[in-house]
């Protein structure tokens, strides 16, 4: 079994292999293609076309990844959870994994289990991965539909052209009809145009879904201590103790460190960035990446001013609230499409300038961020007897986690509101709670502000609700259009329902004065906390930017941004209402309109906020960065707030932020790197070509530099691949790289992936995420890297577990001793070839790489001095283990079958795969190398047998020398007793002889079988069909195998012939000569025991075997080797050098002498 530290099992639900979204992207896209094809075909049939609709090339659905069959049934993963891993791999499509973040306690459980891949702390990364995966699948679906739509449009154009040609040929059409036909031919049909619009909307919807999912992923994650650490090493991450993780999860929020609070703020701020991008993307691409150049800004301001007077003039009889609504809400046109927009100028009156629409959307976003932290209003009243409820609510001003009254009301931290100040004790707790609730809800937007006013009324302070609600413009709601379900029948009969404040200008100037008065008294010792909160409320309601920024209750970066945005939108509202009243005053001289009598107050308000009219978003963030308050300045330096500032300002600043962050130290944190990588990915999809290249980060000498997206992807992939717990997320991000970079990066990563189950998982991802054929290109490079550069693993993979547990009964304990000689590097190299054994399409390359490894191992094996066999030759043992326990036995058959299938399917050799000729050459080479390894193993077995089996048996007379006087006397006495002895004596002698023959047969057949096997396999090498490695093939530039590798192969095959063939000849001679000498001793032992009768026993012992002829037959076989070497059919003599040939001639002379000695006859 495997220890916990090295276990490959996946015992926890967190460790399931599988996609979080429903499986194969290719299958989903193929289904979408089928649907789109059906709709296109139906459209074609309706139009009367007879031509079939052409569909794009079929998208390959990933074939099932199979576990390679063991070569001889001996390969068996020894990990205890291997079957579980295999089950998960086979049933991947049925596995549904939650996209939620993993809790610290679950991570602690995974760490306790000791899982090798360290799953359990991917909760901060998995939701990002899943969101991106869903987006990419949706984009793939849309691309397929767009392709089919293009084909549909092309068929329409072809039909129009054919009709025009037919009309021209008949000569029955007029010139006008021909012109109309040409116009029809150039324009698309209305159906296709609507479908294109629908696809564009679907594409935008997919982007918005991605941004929403990323926002949720950032906000909902629970960051572990190592998640956002910029200095934590991989070893520290993987060795985090379960106790520490559990303690971090169980620690109360009140006892958490500042690091925990910072992580929470980072998560919230990142979520706000994604929400910002989503809000801006609803305005179009130009709303997302706004042109902030001075010329464009001047034009936008002019358009906004012109629209003020146009809307005011057009709505002279409309209530002010309706006029404001018409100004702020209207049709938004993406200015990037202005060149293609042929609308007449009258339509521009309905177009809201992008600067106005964008600022309105920014204000909604800021209020939405504030609203996320607002909790439910307590059921009990805050005033009067509800003081206890007020105190409780005051302890939780945001309705969420417990916080003091001094807690911030921003979306990422805030200033000390001063509740702990001595003057706070003078305030009524109920008033403090009420004002604090009102301030929080005022910042959270209109819906929450209505709840705050209701809270004032229910708390016994309706006067406060009335004084705070005066900023709503006056308007009317008719019963037919009213959404108020509380309107009774009586009110509906009375007529329109009025709302808002017709004296809004007067109220706003009063609120302005109150905020200034409260701010002037704030320095007084008698000033209370309640007045401070009230001053902050009136500053926001009156758009008093200066007073609001100075208020201690609004002293945070987010509050400052909200104040400026409210003032900008409030300035637009004031301008529209003032212009509307100016028009009304002009036309309503005799009968003035209601609310037009406050002209001086309107002009006074516009004068007070004149600086806001020329304020740009960049000015806001410069002011916040130069704030006199340290906290605001510190918050402005936060990288996520810097991202908000960049995208709020404009496209140039956004591009500069993404590029600048590459050199920023803040990007070294895991959370920031994760954020900026997904940001770059999204921007590259949304606006191709927007992101620049990093000129100072040139890659491979490229003058253009490395594109920003690729730069961040490489860093993020490096982060994912440096932590085993994140490995399963790397394939998706790698698929976004250009193919050359993808192959280099992912093949380097795969050299560290060794678990059989996880390999199947990664391979399935490669076949789903990568383009067709790229998975094979990656695996080719991966296997070669592991073979050439040597296998290594910095994660401590237990390689020896791959060979432990295999029952080698034939070798017993010797096999275990031999396995101990294998290094982890050797095992890694052998195991690397199995990368190509999971899918049938990879079988030809598996064969080529197997030959590559076998050539390397055989070249390292000993050939000059063959001593104790595999005990002194680790390379030879490694080759045998590779063939018998790592490489599937049907590799050659699968490779040949796959090559035939590819040719049959394509009609010719396909590009990117091995040709049939190459597969045949590889098969012949593999057979030759396998034959040599088998021959060496057979020789090793013969050597082991002949050195361990004695040719002599313990019998009467065995201790006497053959031919001695004592031996002859003993043999004569035994013969006389056999002839004249009693029955019992004769029976005893026969049994003794039978036992002797049985013992001799046992040892003789054992040696004979080993010798015959070794002889046959050694001769198989020498007489290999076509010559052993005699046809290396030619170097081809069109082959998928590298040209240098082909050249090296030819050289290695020539070297193998030079070293291995003479060695094989000498080993064959050694087998025959050694067996003959053993047989001589074997025969002498029989003659000692039974005299002349012993020689005749050979036929009884060996039957009709060749060795029954005696040692002479074996010596004669030694001489027959010369005929094989001299044969031109096998070209063996070309492999012998001068020294080898002299040695061979000497052996033949010795064999001739031995033959003469043993047979006393001269061979012909």
Q: What pLDDT, in 10s, does the model give residues 501-539?
A: 999 999 999 999 999 998 887 666 556 788 899 999 999
**CA 867, CA 940: separation in Å to the nearest integer?**
9
The C-alpha atoms of residue 870 and residue 860 are separated, in whole angstroms, by 12
**What tokens appear for 782 in the block?**
């991966």
Q: Among residues 750, 736, 817, which one has the least CA distance to residue 780?
A: 750
Stated as kind and residue range, the H or E segment containing 476 is: strand 475-477
Highest mean pLDDT among 429-433, 855-859, 1039-1043: 855-859
What does the longest C-alpha to C-alpha distance in the chain come to? 165
Task: Give the Cα separation of 357 and 345 in Å (integer).
Answer: 20
Of 172-186, 604-618, 718-732, 884-898, the poorest mean pLDDT is in 172-186
Share of the chain above pLDDT 90, in %: 39
Do residues 207 and 685 lie in contact, with contact meaning Cβ atoms separated by under 8 Å?
yes
Reported as a pLDDT band with limits 50, 70 and 90, residue 858 is very high
Residues 846-866 as b or e (16 or more Cβ within 10 Å = b): bbbbbbbbbbbbbeebbbeeb
Using CA atoms, how far apart are residues 145 and 199, in angstroms rounded to an integer?
Answer: 8
Q: Among 155-169, 612-626, 950-964, which range has the highest average pLDDT?
A: 612-626
Q: At residue 868, does pLDDT exceed 70?
A: no
Q: What is the pLDDT of residue 1096?
A: 64
Tell me: pLDDT of 587 over 90.
no
Mean pLDDT of 199-205: 92
Tokens describing residue 145: 């539909």
Residues 6+ apart with CB under 8 A from 608: 512, 544
Q: How many CA atoms lie within 13 A of 380 on its CB side?
A: 14
**Structure confidence by residue, pLDDT tens digits, 342-354:** 444 445 557 899 9
pLDDT in tens, 207-254: 999 999 999 999 886 444 334 444 333 333 333 333 333 344 444 444
Nearest to 640 by CA among 272, 287, 1129, 134: 272
pLDDT value for 561:
96
Annotate 1104-1119 with b (16+ C-beta within 10 A) or e (fewer): ebebbebbbbbbbbbb
Going by pLDDT thresholds of 50, 70 and 90, the confidence category of residue 141 is very high
Q: How far apart are CA 166 and CA 170, in angstroms?
A: 6
577-586, 836-845, 984-993, 1020-1029: range with lowest mean pLDDT: 984-993
User: Which one, of 55, 575, 82, 102, lies nearest residue 311 by Cα?
Assistant: 575
More confident residue, 810 or 282: 282
Query: Does pLDDT of 454 surpass 60?
Result: yes
Phi, psi of 694 (to 5 degrees): -90, 95
Eight-state DSSP code of residue 125: T
Crossing angle of helices 651-660 and 670-686, rounded to 10°: 140
pLDDT for 627 equals 93
pLDDT value for 117? 42
Question: Looking at the chain, how many residues does it have?
Answer: 1164
pLDDT over 60 at 337, yes or no? no
Strand partners, 498: 476
Query: CB of 287 within 8 A of CB of 354?
Result: yes
Distance, in Å, from the CA atom of 493 to the CA atom of 504, rounded to the nearest integer, reads: 28
CA neighbor of 1006 nearest in space, from 947, 1065, 1064:
947
Whole-angstrom distance, CA of residue 757 vs CA of residue 755:
6
- Report which of 475, 210, 446, 161 is spatially closest to residue 318, judged by C-alpha positions: 475
Distance CA 558, CA 412 (A): 7
Instruction: Summarize pLDDT for 998-1012 with one digit per residue, the tens.
Output: 777 788 888 888 999
Higher pLDDT, 976 or 366: 366
The more confidently predicted of residues 430 and 102 is: 430
Distance in Å from the first CA to the final CA of the chain? 63
Q: Is the pLDDT of residue 1035 over 80?
A: no
pLDDT at 828 over 80: yes
CA separation for the pair 875, 311 (Å, rounded): 88
Task: Please give the pLDDT value at position 964.
Answer: 53
Contacts of 809 (CB under 8 A, 6+ apart): none
The C-alpha angle with vertex 26 and arms to 25 and 27, in degrees rounded to 5, equals 90
pLDDT tens digits, 470-493: 999 999 887 665 455 444 454 545
Question: Distance between CA atoms of 134 and 111, rounded to whole angstroms?
Answer: 29
Rounded CA separation 169/173 (Å) = 9
Distance from C-alpha of 572 to C-alpha of 577, rounded to nearest angstrom: 9
CB 1143 within 8 A of CB 1121: no
Cβ(676)–Cβ(658) under 8 Å? yes
Quickly tell me which residue has 């003057």 as its tokens.
423
CA neighbours within 13 Å on the CB side: how many for 281?
A: 22
pLDDT at 466 over 50: yes
Q: What is the mean pLDDT of residues 1064-1088?
A: 86
CA within 13 Å, CB half, 121: 28
Q: What gap in Å lies between CA 24 and CA 44, rounded to an integer?
A: 30
77-111 per-position pLDDT tens digit = 333 333 333 333 333 333 222 333 333 333 333 33
Mean pLDDT in residue range 402-424: 36
**Count of other CB atoms within 10 angstroms of residue 800:** 16
| Per-residue model confidence (pLDDT) at position 540 | 95
Distance CA 499, CA 205 (A): 36
Beta strands in 625-735 (DSSP E): 693-694, 706-707
Select the more confidently predicted residue: 17 or 489: 489
**Cα(417)–Cα(394) distance, rounded to whole angstroms?**
12
Q: Which of 60-64, 121-125, 929-933, 1093-1097 shows the lowest mean pLDDT across its residues?
A: 60-64
492: Cα separation from own chain's centroid: 61
DSSP letters for 273-315: HHHHHHHHHTT-HHHHS----HHHHHHHHHHHHHHHHHHHHHT
Distance (Å, whole) CA 499 – CA 491: 14
Q: How many CB atoms lie within 10 A of CB 296?
A: 15
- The DSSP string of 752-765 is T---HHHHHHHHHH
Residue 46: pLDDT band (50, 70, 90) is: very low
Phi first, then psi, for residue 1028 (nearest 5°) are: -70, 115
Output the CA–CA distances (angstroms, integers) from residue 1091 to 972, 995, 1096, 1102, in the order listed.
9, 17, 10, 19
**Beta bridge pairs of residue 473:** 501
**What's the confidence (pLDDT) of residue 776?**
94
What is the C-alpha separation between 510 and 605, in angstroms, rounded? Answer: 10
pLDDT bucket at 805, cuts 50 / 70 / 90: very low
Q: For residue 207, what pLDDT is reported?
A: 95
Which has the closest alpha carbon to 298: 561, 609, 616, 652?
616
pLDDT tops 60 at residue 335: no
* More confident of the two residues 36 and 1113: 1113
Indicate the helix (H) or strand (E) that contains 105.
helix 104-113
Contact 413/561 with Cβ under 8 angstroms? no
Please report which confidence band the pLDDT of residue 1038 belongs to, taking 50, 70 and 90 as the band edges: confident
How far CA 11 is from CA of 85, 89, 113, 331, in Å, comes to: 9, 14, 7, 56
- Please report the pLDDT score of residue 612 as a whole number: 93
**In the predicted model, is pLDDT for residue 376 greater than 90?**
no
pLDDT tier at 409, thresholds 50, 70, 90:
very low
Question: Taking the model in full, what pTM does it have?
Answer: 0.78
Spell out the residues 6+ positions from residue 754 whose beta carbon is closer than 8 angstroms to its own: 793, 797, 799, 802, 828, 831
User: How far lies 1144's CA from each of 361, 767, 861, 1151, in Å?
Assistant: 93, 55, 21, 11
Q: Would you state the structure tokens that stand for residue 943, as one six-digit string?
A: 């050597």
**Mean pLDDT value of segment 134-160:** 90
Cβ pair 32, 141 in contact under 8 A: yes
For residue 499, give the 3-state DSSP assignment. Answer: strand
- Residue 233 dihedral angles phi and psi, to the nearest 5°: -85, 170
d(CA 483, CA 486): 9
Partners of residue 476 on adjacent β-strands: 498
* Listed residue (934, 931, 812, 936) closest to 872, CA to CA: 936
């Amino acid at each position: 079994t495997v220890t916990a530290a090295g276990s490959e099992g996946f015992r926890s639900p967190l460790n399931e292999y599988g996609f979080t979204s429903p499986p194969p992207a290719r299958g989903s896209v193929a289904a979408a293609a089928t649907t789109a094809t059906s709709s296109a075909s139906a459209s074609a049939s309706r139009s009367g076309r007879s031509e079939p609709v052409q569909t794009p090339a079929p998208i390959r659905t990933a074939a099932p990844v199979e576990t390679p069959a063991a070569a001889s049934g001996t390969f068996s993963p020894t990990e205890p959870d291997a079957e579980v891993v295999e089950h998960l791999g086979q049933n991947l499509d049925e596995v549904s994994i939650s996209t939620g973040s993993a809790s610290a306690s679950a991570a602690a459980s995974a760490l306790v289990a000791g899982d090798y891949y360290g799953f359990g702390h991917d909760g901060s990364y998995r939701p990002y991965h899943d969101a991106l995966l869903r987006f990419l699948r949706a984009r793939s679906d849309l691309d397929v539909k767009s392709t089919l739509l293009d084909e549909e449009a092309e068929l329409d154009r072809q039909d129009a052209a054919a009709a025009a040609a037919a009309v021209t040929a008949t000569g029955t059409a007029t010139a006008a009809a021909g012109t109309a036909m040409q116009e029809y031919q150039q324009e698309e049909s209305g159906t296709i145009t609507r479908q294109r619009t629908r696809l564009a909307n679907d594409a935008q919807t997919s982007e918005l879904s991605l941004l929403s999912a990323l926002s949720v992923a950032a906000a909902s994650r629970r960051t572990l201590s190592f998640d956002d650490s910029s200095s934590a090493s991989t070893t520290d991450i993987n060795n985090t103790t379960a106790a520490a993780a559990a303690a971090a999860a169980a620690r109360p929020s009140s006892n958490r460190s500042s690091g925990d609070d910072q992580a929470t703020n980072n998560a919230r701020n990142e979520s706000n960035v994604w929400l910002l991008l989503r809000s801006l993307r609803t305005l179009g691409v130009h709303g997302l990446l706004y042109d902030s150049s001075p010329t464009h800004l001047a034009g936008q301001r002019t358009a906004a001013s012109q629209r003020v007077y146009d809307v005011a003039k057009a709505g002279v009889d409309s209530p002010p609230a309706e006029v404001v609504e018409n100004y702020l809400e209207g049709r938004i046109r993406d200015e990037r499409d202005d060149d293609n927009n042929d609308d007449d100028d009258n339509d521009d009156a309905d177009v809201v300038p992008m600067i106005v629409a964008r600022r309105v959307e920014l204000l909604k976003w800021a209020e939405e961020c504030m609203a996320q932290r607002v909790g439910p209003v307590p059921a009990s009243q805050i005033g009067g007897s509800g003081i206890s409820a007020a105190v409780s609510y005051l302890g939780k001003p945001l309705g969420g986690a417990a916080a003091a009254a001094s807690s911030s009301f921003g979306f990422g931290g805030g200033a000390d509101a001063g509740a702990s100040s001595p003057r706070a004790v003078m305030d009524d707790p109920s008033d403090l709670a009420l004002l604090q609730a009102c301030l929080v809800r005022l910042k959270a937007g209109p819906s929450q502000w209505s709840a705050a006013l209701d809270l004032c009324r229910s708390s016994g302070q309706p006067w406060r609700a009335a004084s705070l609600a005066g900023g709503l413009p006056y308007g009317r709601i008719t019963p037919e259009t009213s959404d108020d379900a509380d309107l009774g029948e009586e009110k509906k009969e009375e007529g329109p329902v009025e709302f808002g404040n017709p004296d809004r200008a007067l109220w706003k100037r009063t609120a302005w004065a109150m905020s200034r008065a409260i701010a002037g008294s704030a320095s007084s010792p008698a000033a209370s906390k309640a007045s401070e909160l009230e001053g902050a409320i009136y500053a926001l309601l009156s758009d008093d930017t200066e007073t609001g920024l100075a208020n201690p209750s609004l002293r945070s970066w987010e509050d400052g941004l909200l104040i400026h945005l409210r003032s900008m939108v409030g300035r637009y509202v004031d301008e529209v209402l003032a212009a509307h009243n100016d028009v009304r005053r002009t036309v309503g001289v005799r009968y003035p309109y209601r609310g037009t009598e406050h002209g001086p107050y309107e002009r006074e308000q516009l004068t007070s906020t004149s600086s806001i009219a020329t304020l740009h978003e960049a000015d806001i963030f410069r002011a916040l960065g130069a704030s006199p308050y340290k906290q605001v300045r510190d918050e402005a330096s936060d990288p996520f707030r810097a991202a908000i500032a960049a995208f709020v300002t404009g496209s140039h600043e956004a591009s500069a932020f993404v590029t600048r962050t590459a050199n920023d130290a803040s990007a070294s944190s895991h959370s920031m790197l994760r954020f900026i990588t997904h940001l770059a990915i999204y921007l590259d999809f949304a606006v191709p070509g927007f992101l620049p290249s990093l000129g100072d980060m040139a890659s491979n000498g490229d003058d253009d530099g490395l594109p920003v997206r690729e730069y961040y992807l490489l860093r993020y992939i490096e982060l994912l691949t440096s932590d085993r717990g994140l490995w399963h997320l790397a394939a998706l991000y790698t698929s976004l790289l250009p193919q050359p970079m993808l192959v280099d990066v992912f093949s380097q990563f795969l050299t560290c992936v060794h678990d059989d189950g996880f390999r199947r998982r990664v391979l399935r991802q490669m076949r789903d995420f990568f383009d067709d054929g790229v998975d094979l290109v990656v695996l080719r490079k991966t296997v070669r890297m592991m073979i050439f550069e040597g296998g290594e693993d910095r994660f401590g993979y237990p390689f020896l577990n791959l060979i432990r547990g295999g029952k080698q009964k034939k070798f017993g304990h010797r096999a275990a001793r031999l396995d101990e000689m294998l290094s982890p590097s050797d095992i890694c190299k052998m195991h690397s070839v199995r990368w190509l054994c999971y899918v049938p399409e990879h079988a030809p390359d598996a064969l080529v790489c197997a030959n590559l490894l076998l050539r390397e191992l055989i070249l390292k094996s000993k050939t000059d001095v063959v001593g104790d066999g595999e005990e002194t030759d680790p390379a030879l043992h490694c080759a045998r283990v590779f063939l018998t326990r790592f490489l599937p036995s049907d590799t050659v058959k699968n490779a040949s079958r796959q090559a035939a299938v590819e040719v049959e399917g394509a009609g010719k050799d396909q590009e990117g795969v091995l040709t049939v000729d190459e597969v045949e050459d590889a098969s012949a080479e593999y057979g030759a190398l396998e034959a040599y390894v088998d021959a060496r193993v057979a020789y090793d077995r013969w050597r082991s047998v002949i050195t361990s089996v004695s040719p002599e048996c313990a019998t009467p007379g065995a201790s006497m020398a053959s031919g001695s006087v004592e031996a002859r006397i003993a043999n004569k006495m035994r013969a006389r007793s056999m002839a004249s002895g009693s029955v019992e004596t004769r029976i005893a002698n026969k049994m003794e002889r039978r036992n002797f023959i049985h013992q001799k047969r046992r040892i003789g057949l054992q040696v004979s079988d080993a010798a015959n096997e070794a002889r046959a396999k050694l001769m198989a090498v020498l007489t290999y069909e076509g010559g052993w490695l005699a046809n290396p093939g030619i170097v081809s530039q069109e082959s998928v195998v590298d040209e240098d590798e082909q050249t090296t192969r030819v050289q290695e095959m020539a070297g193998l012939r030079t070293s291995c063939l003479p060695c094989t000849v000498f080993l064959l001679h050694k087998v025959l000569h050694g067996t003959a000498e053993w047989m001589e001793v074997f025969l002498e032992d029989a003659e000692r025991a039974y005299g002349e009768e012993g020689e005749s026993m050979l036929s009884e012992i060996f039957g009709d075997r060749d060795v029954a002829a005696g040692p002479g037959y074996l010596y004669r076989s030694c001489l027959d080797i010369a005929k094989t070497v001299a044969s031109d059919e096998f070209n063996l003599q070309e492999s012998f050098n001068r020294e080898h040939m002299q040695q061979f001639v000497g052996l033949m002379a010795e064999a001739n002498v031995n033959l003469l000695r043993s047979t006393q006859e001269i061979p012909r």
